[in-house]
Amino acid sequence: MFAGPFGVGLFKKAAESGLVTLNIRNIRDYTHDKHHTVDDAPYGGGAGMVMKPQPIFEAVEALKAELAAQNINEAIPVILLSPRGRKFCQQMAVELSNNAHLILICGEYEGVDERVSEHLVTDEISIGDYVLTGGELAAMVVVNAVSRLVPGFLGSAESLISESHTGGLLEYPQYTRPPVFREWAVPDVLLSGNHEQVNKWRRQQAVLHTLQRRPDLLVNADVDIKEK
Ligand code: ADE
């Protein structure tokens, strides 16, 4: 599943240059039985299967041992992707990007044995209030959002400063050539060459778009009295 999204574009480039490394493990490789069993029926009954703790613990311990062998001994966040986790946001991506290493665990089936959350995991993250069939897509979302914050990943750091969710506002509208497309003209101010007016307009638009589409964001947004 990971080969597609991470085998193209900026991520591929970053991986080739060694800026970002993705080290994917198959939980089944850490089982000890003939059938490589990773799940079992829930105690107490009920539908679905629960992922066993042992292969997950051993996979994470093996990763940590490999890192320790490379003299990497810092505390590494161990994150379980789960619809029960804290809801992922840009601020969390920024915080996670300060770590040189992250370990992400993708849950499957109906759930993961609670002892994984209690004794192995340092943080549980959900990418939104909906349920996926497994944590893989969620892990890809987190890896993508965090990786692009690694210095050197994006062409210009400037694109990070003005993008949506930085400063708590949505991004202002962008236009490119032609100046008129199907009778719809680009706002005059953007063609004026007056940078002060352009910046003022962009700021107003960012506040306006946030108010119209995501008023919930304005509570914590970086806006002054006049903008409020
Ligand atoms: N696994 C299943 N659903 C999920 C979600 N919304 N976020 C993270 N992991 C998940």
**Which band of pLDDT confidence, cut at 50, 70 and 90, is reported for residue 228?**
confident
Would you state the pLDDT for residue 158?
A: 60
Task: Work out the pLDDT band at 165, boundaries 50, 70, 90.
Answer: confident
Average pLDDT over residues 65-93: 96
- Centroid of ligand 1 to alpha carbon of 196 (angstroms): 43
117 CA to centre of ligand 1 in angstroms: 15
- Mean pLDDT, residues 7-30 taken together: 95
Q: Candidates 126, 133, 136, 140: which one to mutate for ligand 1, based on the most atoms within 8 Å of Cβ? A: 126
| pLDDT of res. 157 | 63
> Mean pLDDT for the chain?
94
List pLDDT tens digits, range 103-123: 999 998 679 999 999 999 999
- Residue 170 · residue 217 · CB < 8 Å: yes
Fold of 3-147: Alpha/beta knot (3.40.1280)
Domain ranges of the chain: 3-147, 162-219
Distance in Å, CA 217 to ligand 1 centroid: 22
Examine domains 3-147 and 162-219 and report if their fold is the same. Answer: no
Residues in the chain: 228
- Among 10-19, 97-106, 163-172, the least confident range: 163-172
Instruction: Categorize the per-residue pLDDT at 199 as very low, low, confident or very high, splitting at 50, 70 and 90.
Output: very high
What string of DSSP letters covers the chain? --HHHHTSHHHHHHHHTTSS------GGGG--STT---EEPPTT--SS-EE-HHHHHHHHHHHHHHHHHTT--S---EEEEEEEEEEP-HHHHHHHTT-S--EEEE-BTTEE-HHHHHHT-SEEEESSSS--SBSHHHHHHHHHHHHTTSTTSSS-THHHHSSTTGGGSPPPP---S-SEETTEEPPHHHHS--HHHHHHHHHHHHHHHHHHH-HHHHTTS---TTT-
Ligand 1 atom nearest 127 alpha carbon: 7
| CA nearest ligand 1 atom 4, residue | 83
- Categorize the per-residue pLDDT at 193 as very low, low, confident or very high, splitting at 50, 70 and 90: very high
Residues ≥6 apart with Cβ < 8 Å to 165? 89, 90
200: pLDDT confidence band, cut at 50, 70 and 90? Answer: very high
According to the model, what pLDDT value does residue 10 have?
A: 93
Instruction: Taking residues 44-54, report their average pLDDT.
Output: 95
Q: Is the pLDDT of residue 159 over 80?
A: no
Superfamily of domain 162-219: tRNA(m1g37)methyltransferase, domain 2 (1.10.1270.20)
Region 38-50 average pLDDT: 95
Question: At which residue do the structure tokens 């490999």 appear?
Answer: 66
% pLDDT > 90, the chain: 88
Taking the centre of ligand 1 as the mean of its atom positions, its distance from the CA of residue 90, in whole angstroms, is: 17
